[in-house]
Structure 1
Amino acid sequence: MRIVIFGGTGFVGLNLAEVLLARGHEVTLYDRAALPLSAQRSLADYGARLKAVQGDITDVDTIDALVAEGCDAIVLGAAVTAGEDLERVSPARVLEINVMAQIPILQAAIRHGVRRVVNLSSASAYGAAGQRHQILDEETPCDPVSFYAISKFTSERSAARHAELFGGDFLSVRLSAVFGPWERPGSVRDTPSLQFQILAAFARGEPALLPAPGIKDWTYAPDAAEAVAVLIEAERPRHRLYNISSGAAWSALQWGEAFAALHPGLECRLAEPDEKTFIKLHGGDRAPLSVTRMADEFGWRARFGCAESAAAMSAWWMQHKEWI
């Protein structure tokens, strides 16, 4: 298949590109940022099957021309992943990129006969409902609170409404607490995972001191990418919304301890009351996401738990130490 990933040189986009290329597809990455040199080297063996196009997500004419060249699937991955600080600075930008910028892409997909569109949403769409339920499935009523959560929930509804009006094959996925290779903070992403922050402390030669254990249904990015690839390739998905999660809750502290055990001299622990830590929690506790829909329909389950992802990330880190 020929697949265009908007936001393709970002964190999730690069993981998805790796998985899709490994499965034999042709991938075009559209992003304002260039393909990083480390990723260029890592993906060089795929040759002409990988193409990177620099452009703004709000450039309607360029995007329409790109889609008109022909593609089988589109992934809507461009987003402002905003914490409270970024929300305060530019709430309009969050809504502009996460909701409004998608509409011309959806309309281009309809106009040019794109077979499948997958919108990357977030578990944050559940919002305050995450504190009222023991597990969150796709039928749980959402109660988004932050601008980011509101924008993600709205993006799902917008994609579904376009599909109803124009007959497009559009899906949304809610990604839960993703971490792993190619993650980096930036001007449109100010909520790095606890795992990234742990590795950043290690890279500075410091112990990773956590303010709290950080329990979530953490999802290793290659797992999330494989789930999205399954949905891209699926002949006739039965639903328009799917949760993607490891399906099990464990702590970032436990992960950091497992990673440190693989590298003598590294230390990850909770900060003492009188110790300062630069590691920040983003978002409160919430219930884990149910992955029953993905498991029952496609047989998909995450392959990486806490120990497995720590070992995999250790191997990746040894090859890409300059990244963090």
Structure 2
Amino acid sequence: MTVLLTGASGFIGSALAAALLDRGERVIGVDRTSMPDAPSDAAYRFVQADLARPGGLDEILVGERVDAVILAAAITADVARERRDPAGVVAVNVGAVADAVRAAATHGVRRVLLLGSGAVYGDEAFAATVLDEAKTRPAPRSLYALTKLSGEDIALRLAETFDIDLTAIRLGTCFGPFERETGARDTPSAPFQILRLAGKDTPVRLPRAARRDWLYVRDAVAGILALLDAPNRRHRVYNVAAGFEWSLADFCARLAQERPGFAWAIAGPQGGNVDLYDPGDRAPISIARLMTDTSYRPRYDLPAALDDLLAWPGSTRPAEVP
């Protein structure tokens, strides 16, 4: 199988590219910039392109026999970027998505996966007991969430127009290997922030315990690939989430067991040095639909995730975790 992957140099894109190559697929990675540890596999081809420019994907697809396109490119904007460059966020998260779906259809690609975000549930995430694709009404507030929902809606409409197979995926809050500063992701995960502080020997101060279904990136990739492979998908939208809940306090306590000298405390909203982005804890994201229609079964609870993350090459100290 040949997979064209946009956002290939980003957090999720890098993890996806590695997983696809590991199972023997050919990957065409597309991004504005190459990643510092880009795959050296002969089955990987990197193309530098700005997909916010209409027609950019057409130039790559010409002459290529592509079986599937995975759209992972996005700008995860914080408030500062909302103020500074709202048009740029819309161009990537909405305009580039629409043009990519059109290009895929034009060049005969019949299978498209769009990677979205559980952020689309917005304010409902703090009112519901569980976030369900069918029962929970999206209520996005941030520009990032608004553009992710708009991109999803437009992609699904264009899939109907072009009669192609498109699945929209709403990812939970991801962390793990391949997470790093990329210039397109303004909101690094809380576990990443904790490890970065620990690596600088800076005591971690949590605003609150912060319980959530934190999604380890290997489970995220497994869910995406399960949807890519599933022969029978009864729905157009699927959550991909963890199925496990734990708190950042749990994460810090376990990290302290692994790293003597690591200091942490719950300091309250005014004393924290880890940005949680939300004022409260979000409801868990349902994966019942995903588990019914695919082989996906999450594997990385907190112990498994932290053990794997700290074993990541070069992670002898928390600061060195990518």
1:152 alignment partner, one of 136, 148, 152: 148
Please give the per-residue CA displacement for 1:28-55, whole angstroms capped at 9, x wherever unaligned: 111111121xx23xx43xx211121111
Per the alignment, in what secondary structure is the counterpart of residue 60 of structure 1?
coil
Q: How big is the alpha-carbon RMSD for the aligned residues of Structure 1 and Structure 2?
A: 1.9
Percent sequence identity over matched residues?
36
State the alpha-carbon separation in 2 of the partners of residues 200 and 161 from structure 1: 41
How far is 1:301 from its partner? 1.9
Q: Which amino acid aligns with 2:193?
A: Q
Residue among 128, 137, 142 paired with 2:132: 137
Q: In the TM superposition, what is the alpha-carbon distance from 1:221 to its structure 2 partner?
A: 0.6
Deviation at 1:62, TM superposition (A): 3.6
Determine the structure 2 residue equivalent to 1:66: 60
Gaps of 5+ in 2: none
- 1:28 is aligned with what amino acid? I
Q: Which residue of 2 aligns with 1:52?
A: 46
- Change over 3 Å in CA distance of 1:171–1:273 after alignment to 2: closer
- Say whether 1:290 aligns with 2:286: yes
CA–CA separation in structure 2 for the residues paired with 1:261 and 1:290: 31
Aligned partner of residue 101 in structure 1, secondary structure? helix
Secondary structure of 2:311 counterpart: helix
Residue 88 and residue 122 in structure 1: after superposition, are their counterparts in 2 closer, same or farther (change >3 A)? same
* SS of alignment partner, residue 258 of structure 1: helix
Deviations 1:209-265 (A, max 9, x none): 212212211000111011111111222321111001112321122112212311222
Superposition map of 1:7-156 within 5 A: 7-36=7-36, 39-40=37-38, 43-44=39-40, 47-68=41-62, 69-139=64-134, 140-156=136-152
Q: 1:174, CA displacement in angstroms? A: 0.5
- CA offsets, 1:33-88, max 9 Å, x none? 1121xx23xx43xx211121111122334410212222111111111101222222
Report if aligned partners of 1:214, 1:252 keep a CA contact under 8 Å in 2.
yes
Contact in 1 for aligned 2:78/2:186 (Cα 8 Å): yes
What amino acid does structure 2 have at the position aligned with 1:11? F
Residue matched to 1:256: 252
The amino acid of 1:90's aligned partner reads D
> 1:155-206: per-residue Cα shift (whole Å, max 9, x none)?
1111110111110111110001111111123432111111010011111122
SS in 1 for 2:28: strand
Q: TM-score, normalised by structure 1?
A: 0.92
Match of 1:168 among 164, 168, 175: 164
CA distance in 2, matches of 1:22, 1:155: 30
As a proportion of its length, which structure holds more helix?
1
Is 1:205 equivalent to 2:205 in the alignment?
Answer: no
Runs of 4+ in 1 over 6 A off after TM superposition: none
Unpaired segments of 5 or more residues in structure 1?
none
CA change 1:202–1:70 in 2 (3 A) is: same
1:183 aligns with 2:179: yes
Distance 2:283 2:226 in 1: 25
CA–CA distance in 1 between the matches of 2:55 and 2:89?
22
Equivalent-residue separation in structure 1 for 2:309 and 2:178 (angstroms): 10
CA distance in 2, matches of 1:317, 1:271: 32
Compared CA separation, residues 214 and 178, structure 1 to 2 (3 A): same
